[in-house]
Amino acid sequence: MRFDLSLLMLKLIDLSLLKLKLIGLRILKQKHFGLSLLMRKRFGLRILKQKHFDLQILMR
């Protein structure tokens, strides 16, 4: 009986570890998504600055 219980506990621990892994992966994906959005924003700002710079040159 004790043996069965310990096996059950091990299975439960494995399941919780799997859940943690899945949650961790989800968080990683979200962070990656956030990073890519940040990069896009920065890239967009750079393009805007470039256009502004080009406009200033044209205005002279």
pLDDT at 1: 58
pLDDT digits (tens, 9 = 90+) for 24-33: 888 888 888 8
**pTM, whole model, 2 decimals?**
0.44
Mean pLDDT calculated for residue range 39-48: 82
pLDDT of 48 higher than 70: yes
What integer is the mean pLDDT of 21-40? Answer: 84
The DSSP annotation for 19-40 comes to HHHHHHHHHHHHHHHHHHHHHH
What b/e readout covers 24-50, taking b as 16+ CB neighbours within 10 angstroms? eeeeeeeeeeeeeeeeeeeeeeeeeee
**Mean pLDDT over each residue of the chain, to the nearest integer:** 83
